[in-house]
Structure 1
């Protein structure tokens, strides 16, 4: 396992043309950081506005994944399992265009089961596969401060690490299979739980007359302080749940977590309860708010 600091502008010898599929909220700022390092980039993206933003930065565009036929390295940041399967093996998918030996660096949050299928499909097509899901927010993506969790083709990892360093601050290689997918689920389990537990803790404190500002100040200077709590402190105090990661996205991730646990016969009673909390908040109209809106939802439940 390796943890490495970010790199400066790429030397000319390491610059190359690469493909990128999906340049939305996360993929967009990551791709821009890669462009800023001097890498030639061709993007595939259904949203015309997102395409235009990258084209203004110097990226070329392609209509579909199959059109990235000259690329030896392709990154993808996609919303779910179905999107990944379509990009890889659909009618206009990568397996119909990429040259043998090319590498897919797949950075989405998808199920380990889907990732296993992708690995088999790519292997049969003579293509290499690196799982590289991300930990971090859209703000961290813009600052090139993401954490990359990788597993799969080790030679491919060594090959693309200089590129990955252009949009991340920390990088971990975890194994040659689906380890990175599971590590992503581990982190998201904890992240989602933090919001759920904090919301109940603050409700208890409020019932005893404590202000939210005082509670968050003490929490962030206590033994239970965390970078996540400090990052969310101002938003929680001000009741500002402008989304960095939405309730609906957390529902998606906790569903992946629950399904992976069930598949591997791991009992996760607490995780199941947290998933239902997010579903309840979504049903209460908070679907598109930041996942720390559980604080607001819990407050409404607790108001006497």
Structure 2
């Protein structure tokens, strides 16, 4: 098994019938990809409207973990947080009470490493394997099957589910046998949130000096600090259309997970703490459900700047006579 920046080797799933728990914004899109690739899906999702989306595409549904484990040997989780993971896996009627030896549970959620390790330990005692597979990417990338999946867990289990994960992603990076994928996901989220905060402050500073947002983004894109993330948010920043791919509320939740984990491992995270407070100010101003790059307008408010109108500035050179 090669590590880090190489793809995971492909092996065949023992069964193309997949159980799926959690069919929200990301989960529904991934389910549709799996169905289109020929997998049979049975979903466990309490929200009728959510499960109806994939049932209409041919998925079956059940009401309990016991029923799901009776039907599928591989079960994928796309769930919102630690509390749901604890209930779904460790609860009295959770997966740990119903999985069989050889089953594989694949958790694609963003959850804490300590709870993930607890779930892995309990499942291992039943003979089931726990694959950590948090994703990097937006809902649009999920629809297009272009996510990046960070992987850790038992190598043989990771190999077994790789064909399924290949239908959902363009890159699958194996990082180790334990909680490495969880930490890597947090590393990416720290950098994404930090980029939004630092870029927002820099753009505010430039506007105070008379620069337009368009001019600054043009120069940034052609400089040493260019990044795919900034370029991907360019149109949003210029149009001031902060319809969320990932919201400020979601970023706060992830930074809180980072803070809790940092305390547990005694990692000083002073800069992340300051950035989290900037997101808190934006949430308090009513921006919690906007995209996390709406933080730009929070910095502008603090500086006494009105939001720049879309395409307000004309950055062309004046004609000479």
The bucket for the TM-score relative to the shorter chain is over 0.9
| Equivalent in the alignment of 2:80 | 79
TM-score, with structure 1 as normaliser? 0.95
Gap runs ≥5 in structure 2? 306-321
Deviation (angstroms), 1:14: 7.2
Task: Give the 5 Å matches for 1:53-92.
Answer: 53-70=53-70, 71-92=72-93
- Secondary structure of 1:19's counterpart equals strand
Q: Equivalents in 2 of 1:124, 1:96: separation in Å?
A: 11
Q: Equivalents in 1 of 2:37, 2:274: separation in Å?
A: 44
Q: Equivalents in 1 of 2:300, 2:239: separation in Å?
A: 14
* Number of positions where the alignment pairs a residue of Structure 1 with one of Structure 2: 301
Q: Equivalents in 1 of 2:138, 2:43: separation in Å?
A: 21
| Equivalent in the alignment of 2:314 | none
- Secondary structure of 1:18's counterpart equals strand
Gap runs ≥5 in structure 1? none
**Residue 302 of structure 2 is aligned to residue 296 of structure 1:** no
| Equivalent in the alignment of 2:264 | 263
- Secondary structure of 1:78's counterpart equals coil
Q: Equivalents in 2 of 1:35, 1:168: separation in Å?
A: 14
**RMSD between aligned alpha carbons?**
1.8
Q: Equivalents in 1 of 2:16, 2:200: separation in Å?
A: 47
**Residue 2 of structure 2 is aligned to residue 3 of structure 1:** no
- Secondary structure of 1:109's counterpart equals coil
Structure showing greater radius of gyration is 2
| Equivalent in the alignment of 1:110 | 111
Deviation (angstroms), 1:101: 1.7
| Equivalent in the alignment of 2:318 | none
Q: Deviations over 1:114-168 (max 9, x none)?
A: 1111112112222111111111111111110000001111100110101100000
Q: Deviations over 1:195-252 (max 9, x none)?
A: 0001100000000111111111221222111111111000011111101101111001
- Secondary structure of 1:99's counterpart equals coil
Deviation (angstroms), 1:15: 6.2
| Equivalent in the alignment of 2:316 | none
Q: Equivalents in 2 of 1:22, 1:262: separation in Å?
A: 29
Deviation (angstroms), 1:92: 2.6
**Residue 51 of structure 2 is aligned to residue 48 of structure 1:** no
- Secondary structure of 1:158's counterpart equals helix
Contact 1:15–1:38 under 8 Å retained in 2: no
- Secondary structure of 1:68's counterpart equals helix
Q: Equivalents in 1 of 2:275, 2:139: separation in Å?
A: 23
- Secondary structure of 2:84's counterpart equals helix
TM-score, with structure 2 as normaliser? 0.90
Deviation (angstroms), 1:3: 3.1
| Equivalent in the alignment of 1:246 | 247
Q: Equivalents in 2 of 1:61, 1:44: separation in Å?
A: 6
